[in-house]
Structure 1
Amino acid sequence: MGTGVGITAPFGRLLRALRQSRRLTIEELAEASGISGRAIGDMERGRSRRPHRGTITALAQGLDLDEAGHADLLAAARAARPGARTAGFAKASPHTLPRGVRDFVGRHTELTVLRALAREAAEGQMVAPPTAVVSGPPGSGKTSLAVRLAEEPGSPCPDGAFLVDMRGLDELPLPAEQAVAGLLGSWGVGDAELARLTAEERLARFHEIAAGLRAVLVLDNAAGEAQVRPLLPRAGRLLVVVTSRRTLAGLEGVRRVELGPLSRRESAALLRAVVGAGRVDAEPGAADVVTELCGHLPLALRVAANWAATRAGWSLERLAARLADEDRRLDALSAGDLRVGSAFALSCSRLAPEAARMFRLLSLLPGGDFGAAPAAVLADVPLPDAEDLLEELLEAGLLMTSHQDRYRLHDLLRLYAASRHRAEDGEEISLAARSRLRHWLLDTAVLAGRWHEPDYGVPPADPGRLVALDDRAQAARWIRAEGDTWLAAFREAAAHGEHARVAEVAEAMHWFSDHWVSWGHWVEVYERAAAAGAALGDAALGATHCNYRAWAYWACARRHDEAVESATTALRLAGTAGDVRQQAWAHAYLGWLRDAVDDMATAADHYHRAAELFTEADDVNGYLQVSCGMIRVLRGAGRAQQAVETCRGIMDTLADPRHQDRIPANVREFTALTALYAVSFVHLDEGRWGEAVDALRSIRGQFDDRGWHKQAGKVRLHLAHGLARLGERAEAAAEYRAVLALESRVPADMRDEARTGLSALTAGRPVPHIRFVQ
């Protein structure tokens, strides 16, 4: 029979309508399908919106649906999944919390301690904000406990909660500096501001913002004391919860919460929550055996319980017998000092073959979380099938959700999946899957990066593309979301000697890298690309990537001498190759680097030569970029009129119809913004308040849209000063208030200047003179 119900209805409503149309109770459908009544009830009420394909098939059989009805039900299930999509990536911060487990039980003593600390933090009565270290063996629920605290209703932390995966078990755990940069981005500090700060200044900015937050910060899976110590707040009301397999005894003044296995009562409560109280209470002896075989560890218990919850026909005695059998047959696989539980083996042995294969292959994915598309590539299956398989693993408890529509493997499950992959798939399959993933990741990285290149833009249409790259924003979100995975593929390509491929990816990322300076890996990317150019013996290619490496050394790492050396090498190689364009860029970078150390005369010479060479090479985009830098240098050299004329030249070039199609919209917009911002300082220095106000009014709000809050604050602050001097006091006061509204997103001294100016206006006094620092 067909469904008779449109597939646009929510899945739960559709399932209920189908069941009722056949005059079946939930219990009768459970018996007919083999799916537990609890699971069916959750699906109908919308509590569980992730049924996998096997569950849908069983329900369709129990409902006696024909092929069309089965397809309708499957389509509705797919559409109902959180994160179901055909395009795009979430804009949420990567440090938002993952969804907590629905059936959290126990840990009452530990939660009481953490709640008390949260209240102390919120009240601000302690000398320093409190820090908790939650330690325990793998699988004991450390992260779940921390997330539970942060998610509790009525939390005394109105500014929210943030989680950073410190990657403590990786070969290279997350550096504290990178964690700081990522959190600052999540707290509203623009990438442009981060690019101008040293590591010490970023840390100071971190502590300044942290002091004003009433929030929970979870530093998850920490490797050691040195990694987290810089991140512990010195003042304010931010509660930090550190989770680690170690006790981190070297941290002083922290509250330690050690997790062991669940108690017998808590283990039984977890089984009741997942499987159902009636089934557990009917077989208390079997329930005890199940909890013992799972080592009273929440992870193993949840995996076993999830399996039983979706199989109404299984008694707990049968589950216990299966676990005991798997326990006897399980290989002596270890993860630290913990033997992987039989629950993993049982769940894997009962998966559909395609899902079991997907689980094993997921162990090859680098990084923390991942989306469905890389999983589809690894398994070589269509994207909808990959999503179904991932949902099946999620329902079995072998996979966890991350933020938005992404997934993650628990460390223990990753180890277990890797062991099964080695045992069952073999080296040939592993190499093929790795190669397939590497090529797809790098192909996609090139397409996404080129969206930002003046000579490329929108990629060619491809209905088979696994991710949507329909605009620059989507491309940027993919690059950021899959940064760990495509970087790992890039490293693998370099290790395999794929030099042309390495150079291609690095080239594609060049313009985008300016929008993610704080990432922390651009130095590595361009060092590898420069080495690839040298390995290929291509002087022009080497010059290109030595130029990019110079940018990365200074913009990302503040390594000035190495940046100068790299740009000088680029100039030499470009001369050898006769590459005028790369000679121009080398002079542009050298001008920028001399400007950075206030050697304005030398900087002006390099910029002037760069402009000549860009003109010779007919590179209008390069010419515009170096001209924007020239405004700042001419201002520093005291040549104000030439700076103003340079700005007029930029605006004339942008308006020239001959360049209409040669300058991409994003380059055009950013060039005008940069030039007008730079020339506003020249007008302010000279006291030309009308010209300064005109320039600043024309760019007001544009830095805000890019998340560059410090520059946005300066535009409004300087506009307020100019307006005050022109007697436009009401508008000036509004701009001062706009600066104050930015709060911790701009430095404290900028807010102090705004308060002083606003106070002077209110009192009828002249606004104090300030020094305009770009």
Structure 2
Amino acid sequence: MNAGGGGVGATPFGGLLRALRLARRWTIEELAEASGVSVRAIGDMERGRSLRPQRGTVTALAQGLELDGAAHSELLAALRAGRPAAQPSVPPASPYTLPRGVRDFVGRHAELAALRALVQRFVTESRAEGAGRSPAPVAVLSGPPGSGKTTLAVRLAEESAPSFPDGAFLIDMRGLDAQPLSADQAVLRLLGAWGVADAELGRRSAEERLARFQATAAALRAVVVLDNVGSEAQVRPLLPRGGGLLLVVSSRRTLAGLEGVHRVELGTLTREDSASLLRAVVGADRTDAEPAAVRAVTELCGHLPLALRVAANWAAARTNWSLQRLADRLADEERRLEALSAGDLRVNTAFALSYSRLASGTARMFRLLSLLPGADFSGPSAAVLADTSLPAAEDLLEELLDAGLLTASRGDRYRIHDLLRLYAGARRRAEDGDEASVAARARLRAWLLDTAVLAGRWYEPDHGAPPPAPGRLVALDDREQATRWMKTESDNWLAAFREAAEAGEHAKVVEVADATIWFSDHWVSWGHWIEVYKRSAEAAAALGDPVREASHRNNLAGAYWIGERRHDKAVGEARHALAIAEKCGDVTQQAWAHHHLGGLHALVDDLPPAADHYQRAKELFARADEVNGYLAASNMTIRVAEKAGRPRQAVAAYDEVMDLLDASEHRDRIPPNVRDTTVTFATFYVSFAHLNQGRWQEAVDALRLARGRLTAHGWHERAGTAHLHMAHALVHLGRLAEAEAEYRSVLTMADLVPSAMLDDARAALDALAAGTPSPPTRFV
């Protein structure tokens, strides 16, 4: 069979490629010359021997054949149809697990050697002295944009992983953003990645969370990369005080204000390393054959790793073109396209060359990606931006990935370097105009917020699963999928929410906040609920909707306490909500305002007003026929009555709660999660009344029911209290072996409960061993 023939095993792609070539009356050699793809590669594709040609190669062929957009899309569709089905990706255990580094890492020998020695010295010393004697080192990598700081940090983390068995994690600190990630937000993300329950994080202050972070970090042997740090304040609280947490920080700034860190400054690559990077991507045969062209390419790229990789990926897809041709094009692009600077480096040449060779649809996608607000993104977001199907969007993203204009992130997500984002934005402004950009941004904003509404409402009692929609771009078939989307896309939908608020889209702002009220109880540690409910309350006021304004000010009161422990702010918002609800006559929001005020008074042990507010809340909830609110207020009445020294009233309130839960008329009105939470805390609260009345068996029965449920909810401190109190009650009953087991259960929670609780358990065990147990008779 000659070079122009087909083959029996040709794929749909190969057959179409051959037909397009023959339609131009070209030989394979002529197509190779026009496209830059080798004769052998084209022959293998046409015969079906190459099942996975890169999309960048397909683009080069389409450009060589001078195909229009429709024909190019048809060729990509044929490629997709002929490929083996991909296995579904398994989502990572945490969204902050370390992404996979580049496989063709080269250069940075001196820097990497120094970092390796630093890590090895710590590993050796910690094995000799024992863990926790001194903190692991902190490495700060600084340098200009595109110099490979993140790549080096990830490389070090990957190499060090065997010595740090508790995992490797990366947090993008977004130091260049208008609202960079705070140290507290980084603490929340890392603690969540380390398995600390959201409920526990939500009830702790920022100072307590930081203390929890330091305690947890001291017990781990893990690697954390804090990428794209903008200031010392973002990272200083996270510096480990002991243990085995290796911290690697990357920043464009030197962060000179940090003390006791090991600094590595990255400049451009050496000539040798620049050539090595080209060789790793393009291939040794081609680079060794044209050393002068290699030198020219590396000079034109300013020896900047990002620019070199983009140019090298462009050349790798055009195997039949010389590197001198690449050098000539880089020089030409520099003369006729505007500069994009990185310090004093001109790197637009490499970007412009790759961009200029993109098919029109791919180039448009690249420009539109500059509108994405988050650090990373998914195929559905790109599809919405480009107003195209998900498969088509994924094809375009893969072309950009092949061209080096995108990088793969965790799971099936993508990232765009901030320099490339700037370049894409410049091209968008020059080529698309304001009208198209505004339309694309509005399209993405609407989709993100509409999806947030659907996902958030999974947790509402009257909603749950959204109605079937064949064209929906993301799966929201269960709560886990909804939660995953809300958390993974939180940076993007929050940015869209801010845009909507600033654009005066008040109805949409209120709708999103309404839809996330129940979900917020399941992600109390997020850190942005204050902003969400403040903006939604302002939007409701702008709409002239006092009921919703009262509702969101009630939510804001809770967010101020849970998010920042701002008692004064929380009380102020609850009173504001009460005044609005009274003025418009809304009974339900009056009840919730009294409920919040009762809780806020109880927090500072101001018990008489707390009891009054809860009683008023119950009366109003009853008038509004709002059983779930009534249960919430009744539960807190149990605790307040017991703390005020009225145990019989507490038990009576508990009995009322249980009767309401059992009543047939309320069975379908109380959601399962509300029922479960109500039982958990009602039994926990009433246990104090039993304990303080010396009703030891009743206390054991209540605590046995509550302890496992508290653990399941992530309320570990209260679960520890349940174990400890149950042990004390069992000692009073003379069941010492069971009591010992409960005391030891407290000790197994060493990383989850206060040290004072551990001390109490140890002292009780010592007293049991000595035969002199003396359990308390007063419980608070």
CA distance in 2, matches of 1:349, 1:612: 70
Once structures 1 and 2 are overlaid, which stretch shifts more, 206-215 or 150-159?
Answer: 150-159
Residue 190 (structure 1) aligned with residue 197 (structure 2): yes
Does the CA contact (< 8 Å) of 2:341 and 2:348 recur in 1? no
State how far apart, in whole Å, the 1-side matches of 2:568 and 2:276 are.
62
- Contact 2:651-2:686 within 8 A present in 1 as well: yes
- Equivalences for residues 237-316 of structure 1 within 5 A: 237-316=244-323
1:601-631 deviation digits (Å, cap 9, x = unpaired): 1111111111111111111111111122222
My pick for the range that moved more, 357-366 or 383-392, is 383-392
- 1:207 corresponding residue in structure 2: 214
| Residues 191-248 of structure 1: CA deviation (Å, up to 9, x unaligned) | 2222222222222222121222222221111111222111111222222111111111
CA contact (8 A) 1:366 1:488 kept: yes
1:380 maps to: 387
Q: Which residue of 1 aligns with 2:39?
A: 31
How far apart, CA to CA, are the structure 1 residues paired with 2:703 and 2:314?
A: 62
* Structure-2 change in CA distance of 1:424 and 1:612 (3 Å): same
Q: Per-residue deviation at 1:340?
A: 2.9
Shift of residue 451, structure 1, vs aligned partner: 1.3
| 1:766/1:707 CA distance change after superposition, 3 Å | same
Tell me whether 600-609 or 313-322 shows the greater mean CA deviation. 313-322
Question: More deviation in 227-236 or 723-732?
Answer: 723-732
Structure-2 separation of matches of 1:603 and 1:36: 79
Alpha carbons 2:302, 2:347 under 8 Å: kept: no
1:626 aligned residue (613, 633, 639): 633
Evaluate the alpha carbon distance shift between residue 285 and residue 647 of structure 1 in structure 2; reply closer, same or farther with a 3 A threshold.
same
- Contact kept in structure 2, 1:91 and 1:477, CA below 8 Å: no
Equivalent residue, structure 2, for 1:494 = 501
| Contact 2:269-2:303 within 8 A present in 1 as well | yes
Contact 1:681/1:692, CA 8 A, preserved across alignment: yes
CA distance in 2, matches of 1:537, 1:422: 38
CA contact (8 A) 2:92 2:410 kept: no
Q: Distance in 1 between matches of 2:765 and 2:632?
A: 36
In 2, Cα distance between the equivalents of 1:579 and 1:621?
17
Aligned residue number for residue 3 of structure 2: none
The residue type equivalent to 1:406 in the other structure is: R
| CA deviation after TM superposition for structure 1 residue 280, in Å | 1.4
How far 1:298 moved relative to its partner? 1.4
Q: Output aligned runs, 1:211-222, within 5 Å.
A: 211-222=218-229
Give identity over the alignment, percent. Answer: 63
Greater shift, 690-699 or 220-229, is seen at: 690-699
Distance 1:587 1:153, change over 3 A: closer
Give the one of 549, 563, 568 matched to 2:556.
549
Q: Does residue 367 of structure 2 align to residue 366 of structure 1?
A: no
CA contact (8 A) 1:547 1:570 kept: yes
Report 1:98-109 matches (<5 A): 98-109=99-110
Alignment of 1:532-547 (within 5 A): 532-547=539-554
Q: Please give the residue correspondences for 1:310-709 in structure 2 after superposition, counting only pairs within 5 Å.
A: 310-709=317-716
- Matched to 1:185, the amino acid is G
Q: Does the Cα contact within 8 Å between 2:59 and 2:358 map onto a contact in 1?
A: no
Paired residues of 1:306 and 1:395 also in contact (CA < 8 A): yes
CA contact (8 A) 1:121 1:238 kept: no
Distance 1:91 1:510, change over 3 A: farther
* Match of residue 744, structure 1, among 736, 741, 751: 751
Gap regions ≥5 residues in structure 1: 12-26, 85-89
Offset at 1:419? 0.7
Instruction: Give the counterpart letter for 1:380 in structure 2.
Output: D
**Is 1:607–1:626's contact at 8 Å kept on the other side of the alignment?**
yes
How much has 1:506 moved relative to structure 2?
1.0
Query: Which runs of 5 or more residues in structure 2 are unaligned?
Result: 1-5, 14-31, 66-72
Letter matched to residue 80 of structure 2 = L
Give CA deviations for 1:524-558 in whole Å, capped at 9, x if unaligned.
Answer: 11111111122122222221111111111112121
SS in structure 2 of the partner of residue 221 of structure 1: strand
Name the CA distance, whole Å, in 1 between partners of 2:606 and 2:43: 75
What is the number of residues matched between the two proteins? 738
Q: Rg bigger for which structure?
A: 2
Counterpart mapping for 1:109-258 below 5 A: 109-122=110-123, 123-124=125-126, 127-152=134-159, 155-258=162-265
Q: Distance in 1 between matches of 2:284 and 2:630?
A: 73
Distance 2:375 2:136 in 1: 29
Change (3 A) 1:740 1:351: farther
Over 3 Å counting, the alpha-carbon distance change for 1:764 and 1:52 in structure 2 is farther
8 Å Cα contact 1:35-1:55 kept in structure 2: no
Shift of 1:480: 1.1
The secondary structure found in structure 2 opposite 1:129 is coil
Shift of residue 735 of structure 1? 4.1
Flag the 1:371–1:759 CA change in 2: closer, same or farther, 3 A: farther
Contact kept in structure 1, 2:727 and 2:740, CA below 8 Å: yes
TM-score, normalised with respect to structure 2: 0.88
Larger deviation: 712-721 or 446-455?
712-721
| Contact 1:581/1:614 (<8 A) preserved | yes
What is the one-letter code of the residue matched to 1:115? Answer: R
Secondary structure of 2:166's counterpart equals: coil
Kindly provide the amino acid, as one letter, of the partner of residue 366 in structure 1: P
Aligned AA (1:197)? R
CA distance in 2, matches of 1:706, 1:72: 50
Calculate the TM-score normalised by the size of structure 1: 0.89
* Larger relative contact order (CA 8 Å, sep ≥ 6): 1
Deviates more, 1:591-600 or 1:621-630: 621-630
Given that residues 509 and 539 in structure 2 are in contact (C-alpha distance below 8 angstroms), is that contact kept between their aligned partners in structure 1?
A: yes
Partner Cα separation in structure 1 for residue 699 and residue 693 of structure 2: 9
CA contact (8 A) 2:161 2:167 kept: no
Q: Which residue of 1 aligns with 2:89?
A: 83
1:592 to 1:261, Cα distance in 2 relative to 1, 3 A = same
Cα distance in 2 for residues equivalent to 1:3 and 1:460: 47
TM superposition shift of 1:763? 5.6
| Cα distance change, pair 405–711 in 1 and its aligned pair in 2 (3 A) | farther
Equivalent-residue separation in structure 2 for 1:533 and 1:646 (angstroms): 36
**CA pair 242-692 structure 1, distance change in 2 beyond 3 A:** same
SS of 1:363's partner is helix
Alpha-carbon contact 1:2-1:69 (below 8 Å) kept: no
Find the aligned partners of 2:594 and 2:569 in 1 and give their Cα distance.
15
Q: Distance in 2 between matches of 1:727 and 1:50?
A: 75
Q: Distance in 2 between matches of 1:647 and 1:58?
A: 75
Q: CA deviation at 1:153?
A: 6.2
Amino acid of the structure 2 residue aligned with 1:690: Q
Q: Is the 8 A contact 1:454 1:667 kept in 2?
A: no
- Contact 2:302-2:345 at 8 Å conserved across structures: no
Distance of 2:391 and 2:74 partners within structure 1: 18
Q: Is the 8 A contact 2:691 2:778 kept in 1?
A: no
Cα RMSD after superposing both structures? 3.2
**Offset at residue 736 of structure 1 (A):** 4.1
